[in-house]
Amino acid sequence: MLAGTLRRVLGGGPALVDCAEAVAAEAETVLAAAGLAAPPEGAGGLSLIATDAPDRFARIASRLFPALGAVPAVELANL
């Protein structure tokens, strides 16, 4: 979230490495090599489950992941 600001402040100085991107890229490579690549677009599904405040969780999820839609359905799990 701070990468843009850090790049402006640091200019062309040190390289910024986003470890999340690096790990995701490596996971993609390993899964593809094992024949476990992602299914075709539109296949599969997503279930959101929360242990408390599913409405709040849905609102936050919709802001963080706009592709989920305005307010995704969230199941309340009673542990």
Average model confidence (pLDDT) across the chain: 82
Helix, strand, coil % over all residues of the chain, rounded to 5: 45, 10, 45
Do 76 and 50 belong to one domain?
yes
Higher pLDDT, 58 or 69: 58
Do 13 and 30 belong to one domain?
yes
Total domains in the fold of the chain:
2
Do 13 and 34 belong to one domain?
yes
Do 33 and 1 belong to one domain?
yes
Do 1 and 35 belong to one domain?
yes
Do 2 and 32 belong to one domain?
yes
Neighbouring CB atoms inside 10 A of 61's CB total 19
Do 15 and 35 belong to one domain?
yes
Query: Domain range spanning residue 74?
Result: 46-79
Q: What confidence tens digit (pLDDT) does each residue in 36-64 have? A: 877 766 666 777 888 998 888 888 888 88
Residue 34 · residue 60 · CB < 8 Å: no
Q: What is the pTM of this model?
A: 0.42
